[in-house]
Structure 1
Amino acid sequence: MSIPPETVSPPPGLSPLEAGDPASIGPYRVVGRIGAGGMGVVYGAQDVYGLCVAVKTVHADFARESRFRETFAREVEMLARANGVSTARLHASDTGAEVPWLAFDYVPGRDLRAHVREFGPLEGGMLHAFALGMAEGLAALHAAGIAHRDIKPGNVILSPDGPKIVDFGIAVEIGTERSADASASYGTPGWTAPERYSGASADPSADVFAWGGLVVLAATGRQPFGSGAAAELARRVREGEFDATGVPEDLLGLVEAALSVDPEQRPSSEELVRALLPAPEAGPEGQPGRPQTTADSLRRMLRDYWRGVDDAGHDPARWATAVGVVSAAGLGASALGSGVMGSGAVGSVGAAGTGAAAGAGTGAGTTGAAAPAAAGSGTATAGGSAAGTANGGLLSGIATSKAGLTGAGVLAVAGLTAGGFVVYNQVSENPSETVAAAAGILEESQGFTARVTRSFSPAHAEEVAERTGTPVDQVVEDSLVEEEYLYSAADQTFLIRGAAMGPDSTAVANHRGELYVYAQGEEDAWPLPERTEPDPSVSPDSVGLTLVTEPLRQLAASGETEAGEGQEGVYTGPTVLGLLDEGAFVETEALARVELDEEGAPLRAEYTTEQREVRIDFEEGDTGVPMEDPQSWALDNGLYWDVVHAPICGSIVSGWPAQQEWDVQASSWDMDCDRAMDIAGVVEDSSGQEDRVAFLFGRFSRGTTRAIDETVACGDGWNLDAGEEPDPGENVAPLSDCRPITNFTEPTEASPEFYDADILPVVLIDFQPRD
């Protein structure tokens, strides 16, 4: 029995099941979708013991071709040999089923790029553990005779247990000649070794080349060859123009050798492992310790240094709950029994990699000694496939198999990872895959700027005109909203300039995971406007890159994407559009028209809903977009913007004539919470910190302004005239905000008690009275 769409709300990291999706695959109960591609679907599922797995399936149409089925069986056989601590491992498979499938662990976490963007580069022992983990994973693959060929950030998951290599979609036997290699042209520019551009056969040294790039990104937050068009990245790779500045000295030599243009100059993965292994632990009384395997040493390093890596919201209990709901609804019948997913048996994979019947729908598939039983007993936590959460991390997992694409008539495919797969000098014939790849290009880019215009649709404008008596043209003009989207991967910032948060707003930003909202203000106004709380539908996650990429991915996933007739690079179809409208985040069904350039990157996107027409024109793509605090940008453009929502870091107690508790708001992008609370502590009580404080000429007639650390000016309440008694009934005087100062000068003889400085009209910290 199949599950109707939207019957069950899936856990984070999974999308809802769709009509026709199976309730179970082999011994696994299906929970939701991890992703889908032109060749099949990857599901999130659980076994009877609650183990979370990812199950990759293949469309029956492709499975009918014997050549494809043989390719799939060969892929399964290769994966069964992979047995590293840091490699994804196979659990079970049935290559003989009507719809072939294979199952891996689901590894929770973010891919390398998403982790570095959110938490910053790895350092010290943790970086060393990462480098060793990646080398160990490659060495395990290479020892098993496998060349991965698509080592890149999206195929490396940082899980709580350590880094994991995933996605073996274009892996081949080492030494496979290009003439026999259906996926020889696949790879990701900037991560593909230079010799692959000239037709070299599959070789482990290409994986080692990518290892060097991974360590550069992990250590610095930068891609070794930067970003840009595929042709430019290929040129830099071939000419060895990489930037490893910032990689620690103890790793730099290995990284530079790995990134050598000449594959003969690169170390092998085993040599990397030997160079990175820590010294063995000493035995009792200084005696030599017992010999340790590479796996033992790696696990010790992970135990000692692997810190600060979460599961990106993954919760097996949520999966179990979802499965329970499905069962309660009577939808848990085995798909194998009904003939949907299999032939009534769970096949096993032996050394030859061929499927074999194992009983009447009850047997557990195995993959030989290298993999645990599908029933879940004895499953090693170190192995697995991967899929990050949709918001906490980009989808990454077992991509649809690329090995049989040529025979299937498809020349390019976007995988389930964020960036998809780029094929050199080829164009996808599958509209859905092409649109998904376009979304990946945006997600993997350095940044972009886009001009956004939206107004009432003609039909809705006519309804409003009839109701209000206003001419239709005037209704459309009055509804027009113009915005600018700016995205910078380096700054981890998505900024919207415009009235996205309502008619009085000027900008909204997600900066390093925090939400900031701005409104039009006046430079000399004081006190500042009170903090406003955004609509509950608005969060940092709803002000982000997904505003641009999710409609593209929904279009690709709709199954109804069509290429524009007679219009090259134009794709149309249904989607779901999310946008910020009058200060709320709303999602609605829309018809999409997307135009791509010659390299597959978006040029413009148009969406029509019942009420809106939205157009996004991409002005600059894959470029380092300069980002600055919107307050500073506004001043440079003759404007003044108030910060009406920003992170609250804590509170202090201060005030006159009575004490008041104040929330401390870090209003500037340059003011983190630790610094904000440090300065606020001086405002609250400067006793013992007099060396940090200097009195300035006050900005207000009854106020005192103090410079703190000669860099920040803060107001700290009101002064009373000599002899004046405070009014007990008077409200507590507001604390002034804190702003940056320049040109700090010593007191003069005319004013020996006061220092002087220029106070800039940018708010660093604001104090909001706590109710």
Structure 2
Amino acid sequence: MTSPIPPNASVLPPELEPVRPGDPARIGPYRVVGRLGQGGMGTVFGALDGRDACVAVKVVHARFAADAEFRARFAAEIDLMRLVGGLCTAEVHAADADAARPWVATDFVPGRTLRAHVRENGPLEGDMLVAFAAGVAESLAAIHAAGVVHCDLKPGNVILAPEGPKVLDFGIARHAAGGERSGGAVFGSPGWMSPERYDGTAPTPAADVFAWGAMVAFAATGRNPFGRADTAELARRARQEPADTEGVPEELLPLVERSLAKDPAGRPTADAVFGEVMALMDGVEEAEGIRLEGLPARTERLRVRLGERWRGIDAGWHRPALWVAAATATGMAATASTATGAGVAGAGAAAATGAGTGGAGAGAGAAAAVGAGAGTGKVVAVVAAAVIGTAAVGTGGYFAADALTGPQEAASSPTPAPSPSTPQEFVAMAADLAAGADSFVVAYDQRITEEEARRQPDSFTGSEEERIEYLIAVSGQTGEYRYTSEPDPVLEETRANEGGGRTYLDTGGDLYLYSVVDDSWRRNPPDVDRDRHTVDALLQPLRSIAESDDLVGNGSDTVDGVAATHYSGTFEAVEYRNADGGATTSEALFDLWIGADGYPVRLDYTTESLERELVFESFGEPVSIDGPDQEKLIAGVCGPLSTADGGTVVEVSSGAYGVTCEEAMGIVGGYFDGRGEVAPGGGGSGGFATVDGWTCGWTTAGAIELALPGDSIGGCTELESDEPVPPRIDFLKTG
């Protein structure tokens, strides 16, 4: 197998990444131009057929190609693809399950996923929404007519192409009568699955109809119909709570609500849904006549209606001529007849006539298809995530039905190669590089979401929209992380917001906090979760993204003036941590850019309550960080200390400016050891004595008895102080 000459990124179309050393120059009859993306089990290449039509070729990773069970599953999935027809699908041009590295070639479908479109442009409206609902319903009707269940319909698996919606990701589709995969696992994406699927019930067409209703609700409102939560909570909501359909237009609402029925027997079929939505598109009150005309006739009328009403979807960035130019510029402009059949194509490559007839790039020029993989058929656009695991599609979750845990990997999966080859591995490498850097500077900006602002009570007297705008503005926070490992590791985080600012310093095993309002430093403040202010906490989003099942590679991009690779998807983000270290998580939508050197460049993510942007400004550059101003240091809780007889153990807490813990412990220790000077006449019931200019003593025995852990039961006060409130060191009760 020959490898292509790595092209200059500047001559590549924007949707493609440069090929890498070891990538194939040809896959069967197709000339490789660049990479479209990659995933846990394979890579998607942008390629040209013999007529210079753009195709997407998905190639299995070499480490999986040796797995006989995997090959059998791949071949079975290809068979499923060939069963499906329909307008809102893309054509299978060729495939070879017996090649050294199995592959499948389909139409390349330009466009953004529904989730990305809604995130960037807002919900669909009017004719576009109805056309979207009709197109997805037509696809499901065609899928079900072939005796197949999709199993993972969700916003990340539908592309809004210029000619209409295209349903993607057939990787976990099942024969309708074939039941579930073995091992007690349920395939699908929590939040979009029907109630019965969470219980491990075998997939049926009714489950796809439920997902259709959920996705149309999302397209109409921009909100996940069951919100965002962990898998167990999403399962509970799907079983027990109505979906959020507020904002779905009246003409679609009854059909959407029937499709979201908890009982699968109460849901319409996909064919019935398609008929009803087509009746809406045609302005017909009674859908029965449309239903009776049959699926092919309705599909043809849908083609006409999409041509009339599908507007505003621009894929002008996709210019096939640029693919041809890029292939020519990199020396790959060979004809399909020169394929050797080696490497990816496999020794069994052979001519096959009529491959891919009827679709883009079909015909004689694409006839050099491979062996048994050749032939006609339909498949959803960028396909087979569970077979290929490509980054060009979003994959579904995989969880045990009885435990409702999160995404997991089969125990028999081969060990990944040491060098990064998947989006997950590249993100993990970026996190490792950042964690191992001698220094870095990271700027951030965050604010609450509009949804969170609407939930918050406020006495604002203006309009609701003015109130929301005000709350978002005052919640805004900007800051910067600065880290250096020399001479000793120090992480500094500065924050600025409407109410003032703070600085956190993590160094030498201690956390120091500076407050602009108080103009003071505190050491190890008990009300602050120290784990939130570490390098590990800063990089935790990257670690979580590296474990995401729907991490997608989107090709080359430029962000903040830096050439980078763009990734997107969802991950579980930490929303809030209590002082005891407890945390809650929320699904976050993210966009991540990683530079050519492997370091992260920028990360933007949005949870249900927070929007945050992180800009990784520099790595390895000199960073200077000043320590806390000792004259403004309030030591805070310093540690336990016992009286001389060991009868009482207290926590020593210094609230005095400029008094270190060492000094505070020395003063209290001197008092406990009896080194204090007792006033003439004795120390009274509180045992008062003076140590190094501090008067120390206890509260009454009764007060000590009634005090709770953490309450002050005594302390030391500086005698000669000009402060209105003299500096104090407290004895805190421990038990």
Give the alignment's TM-score, normalised by structure 1.
0.53
Residues 107/264 of structure 1: CA separation in 2 closer, same or farther (3 Å cut)? same
Larger radius of gyration: 2
Residues 320/233 of structure 1: CA separation in 2 closer, same or farther (3 Å cut)? same
- Unaligned 5+ segments in structure 2 are 284-288, 368-376, 429-433, 453-468, 482-494, 498-537, 549-555, 566-570, 575-582, 613-735
Mapped to 2, the partners of 1:264 and 1:206 lie a distance apart of 10
Mapped to 2, the partners of 1:108 and 1:344 lie a distance apart of 32
Superposition CA RMSD, Å? 5.3
Q: Per-residue CA shift, 1:693-722, capped at 9, x if unaligned? A: xxxxxxxxxxxxxxxxxxxxxxxxxxxxxx
- Are the equivalent residues in 1 in contact too, given 2:38–2:422 (CA < 8 A)? no
Where do 1:36-115 residues align within 5 Å?
36-115=38-117
- Are the equivalent residues in 1 in contact too, given 2:169–2:394 (CA < 8 A)? no
Mapped to 1, the partners of 2:359 and 2:600 lie a distance apart of 52
Where do 1:603-618 residues align within 5 Å?
none
SS of structure 1 residue aligned to 2:32 = strand
- Are the equivalent residues in 1 in contact too, given 2:210–2:267 (CA < 8 A)? yes
Specify the alignment match of 2:607 in structure 1: 622
Which of the numbers 330, 340, 345 marks the counterpart of 1:342? Answer: 345
- Post-superposition shift, 1:211? 0.3
SS of structure 2 residue aligned to 1:247 = coil
SS of structure 2 residue aligned to 1:249 = coil
Specify the alignment match of 1:471 in structure 2: none
SS of structure 1 residue aligned to 2:40 = coil
Residues 625/217 of structure 1: CA separation in 2 closer, same or farther (3 Å cut)? same
Specify the alignment match of 2:193 in structure 1: 192
- Are the equivalent residues in 1 in contact too, given 2:60–2:103 (CA < 8 A)? yes
Specify the alignment match of 2:150 in structure 1: 148
Question: Which amino acid in 2 is paired with 1:197?
Answer: Y
Mapped to 2, the partners of 1:49 and 1:56 lie a distance apart of 19
SS of structure 1 residue aligned to 2:279 = coil
Question: Which amino acid in 1 is paired with 2:248?
Answer: V
Question: Which amino acid in 1 is paired with 2:239?
Answer: R
Specify the alignment match of 1:398 in structure 2: 383
Residues 92/236 of structure 1: CA separation in 2 closer, same or farther (3 Å cut)? same
Q: Per-residue CA shift, 1:109-161, capped at 9, x if unaligned? A: 11111112222222222211111111110000000011110100111011110
Mapped to 2, the partners of 1:93 and 1:456 lie a distance apart of 43
**Residue 417 in structure 1 maps to residue 393 in structure 2:** yes
SS of structure 2 residue aligned to 1:318 = helix
- Are the equivalent residues in 2 in contact too, given 1:86–1:136 (CA < 8 A)? yes
Where do 1:168-187 residues align within 5 Å?
168-178=170-180, 180-181=181-182, 184-187=185-188
Question: Which amino acid in 2 is paired with 1:257?
Answer: R
Question: Which amino acid in 2 is paired with 1:117?
Answer: R
Mapped to 2, the partners of 1:40 and 1:71 lie a distance apart of 14
**Residue 321 in structure 1 maps to residue 325 in structure 2:** yes
Mapped to 2, the partners of 1:613 and 1:35 lie a distance apart of 18
Where do 1:100-499 residues align within 5 Å?
100-178=102-180, 180-181=181-182, 184-278=185-279, 293-311=297-315, 313-327=317-331, 337=340, 339-346=342-349, 358-359=350-351, 363=352, 366=355, 375-376=365-366, 386=381, 397-402=382-387, 416-417=392-393, 421-424=397-400, 425=405, 427-428=408-409, 436=424, 458=438, 483-486=444-447, 497-498=478-479
Q: Per-residue CA shift, 1:386-435, capped at 9, x if unaligned? A: 4xxxxxxxxxx3354349xxxxxxxxx78543576453525347787998
Mapped to 1, the partners of 2:598 and 2:65 lie a distance apart of 43
- Are the equivalent residues in 1 in contact too, given 2:12–2:326 (CA < 8 A)? yes
Mapped to 1, the partners of 2:41 and 2:184 lie a distance apart of 14
Mapped to 2, the partners of 1:182 and 1:325 lie a distance apart of 49
- Are the equivalent residues in 1 in contact too, given 2:446–2:610 (CA < 8 A)? no
Mapped to 2, the partners of 1:434 and 1:456 lie a distance apart of 21
- Are the equivalent residues in 2 in contact too, given 1:84–1:137 (CA < 8 A)? yes
Mapped to 2, the partners of 1:607 and 1:28 lie a distance apart of 29
- Are the equivalent residues in 1 in contact too, given 2:149–2:173 (CA < 8 A)? yes
Specify the alignment match of 2:654 in structure 1: none
Identity %: 38
- Post-superposition shift, 1:331? 8.3
Mapped to 1, the partners of 2:280 and 2:586 lie a distance apart of 49
* Higher normalized contact order (CA 8 Å, seq sep 6+, divided by chain length): 2
- Post-superposition shift, 1:556? 8.5
- Are the equivalent residues in 2 in contact too, given 1:213–1:259 (CA < 8 A)? yes
Specify the alignment match of 2:628 in structure 1: none
SS of structure 2 residue aligned to 1:21 = coil
Where do 1:541-690 residues align within 5 Å?
585=562, 622-625=607-610
Mapped to 2, the partners of 1:143 and 1:612 lie a distance apart of 46
Mapped to 2, the partners of 1:191 and 1:553 lie a distance apart of 21
Give the alignment's TM-score, normalised by structure 2.
0.55
Specify the alignment match of 2:511 in structure 1: none
Question: Which amino acid in 1 is paired with 2:386?
Answer: S
Residues 483/246 of structure 1: CA separation in 2 closer, same or farther (3 Å cut)? closer
Mapped to 1, the partners of 2:184 and 2:330 lie a distance apart of 39
Mapped to 2, the partners of 1:617 and 1:79 lie a distance apart of 36
Mapped to 2, the partners of 1:64 and 1:303 lie a distance apart of 46
Q: Per-residue CA shift, 1:435-477, capped at 9, x if unaligned? A: 839989xxxxxxxxxxxxx99964x7xxxxxxxxxxxxxxxxx
- Post-superposition shift, 1:7? 5.0
- Are the equivalent residues in 1 in contact too, given 2:16–2:36 (CA < 8 A)? yes
Question: Which amino acid in 2 is paired with 1:133?
Answer: G
